[in-house]
Amino acid sequence: MSGGDFIDIRDFSREELEGMLDEAMRRKKARLGWPKAKPDADAPLSGHLLAMIFEKPSTRTRVSFDVAMRQLGGETMVLNAGDMQLGRGETIADTGRVLDRMVDVIMLRTFGHERAEELARYTGVPVINGLTDLSHPCQIMADAQTILEHKGRIEGLTIAWVGDCANVTRSWIEAATLLGARMKIGAPEGYRPDAEILDWAKAHGGEILLFDSAEEAVRDADVVMTDTWISMHHSEAEKEKRIADLTPYQVNEALMAAAKDDAIFMHCLPAHRGEEVTDAVIDGPQSVVFDEAENRIHAQKAVLLFCLGRL
């Protein structure tokens, strides 16, 4: 039964995830050729209000949630933490208690994962994790939709992740485990997923394989993924070290050649071209990164409908 928060992929069953993906695919297909601001034919969330709280900068999350809610017939409210009492010491719990009386659903993009969990704990309306330092479940729903569009399935595929393993990697480990894909990770020591998520995957039947070599991880893969190496909080010294450590894991034409001939390349964006991926790959025929970005709209429509008990 649908309804409730959307904090981590692991919180859901395979059937629930597949139901949301089916809905995302259906709604995207139904809108072909329509103007972007025109509501879906059924406008199922007419009269509903989504509050979006941003404690981190955003392009895709902000625009895609806004467009998604409008296409569902609802309205949105953007709240930047620096403009709120939240940015002046009010607790996330008290903020949640207030917004609970004023909106129908809340999306939070923040730093510590515990902030999303606390907001959900003290708020009666659904809370959606728009990104934390630990996980990024909305991105994974769009990624999974993109793979379905280009491969027709997820179960049985080999997904290769190379380079730094952070929040998107963690959420993909959860998704691969639940949806029946094999995941091969190529990363150096110090950049690999933590033991807790690997233990969780093993306990739930996941096939998550670790490699020192990017080439070994990518060999015979159906999907090749990576993410940025550098974040705003890294010092100049940290940036130099990370680039030195991760350069052997750059996704370039030679690395893509180790994957299957029909492999697709994915990146959640923004990309640092020339670092984790070359122009030739991200702009090349195997890249589906802009399909992936567009699918944030439709995947998040399905998430919103699920959270509000409409699936």
Which of the residues are catalytic?
A: 109, 136, 139, 227, 268, 296
Q: Which two tokens stand for residue 255?
A: 């690395």
297 Cβ neighbours under 8 A, 6+ residues apart: 28, 64, 67, 68, 71
How far is 95 from 18, CA to CA, in rounded Å? 33
Residue with tokens 């709604």: 27
Residue 155: CB atoms within 10 Å: 11
How far is 221 from 161, CA to CA, in rounded Å? 10
Closest CA to 218 of 181, 263, 188, 178: 263
Q: What is the 3-state secondary structure (H, E, C) of 231-272?
A: CCCCCHHHHHHHHHHHHHHCECHHHHCCCCCCCEEEECCCCC
Bridge partners for 300 per DSSP = none
Residue 237: CB atoms within 10 Å: 8
Phi-psi region of 73 (alpha: psi -120 to 50; beta: other; left: phi over 0): left
Closest CA to 107 of 55, 63, 68, 50: 50
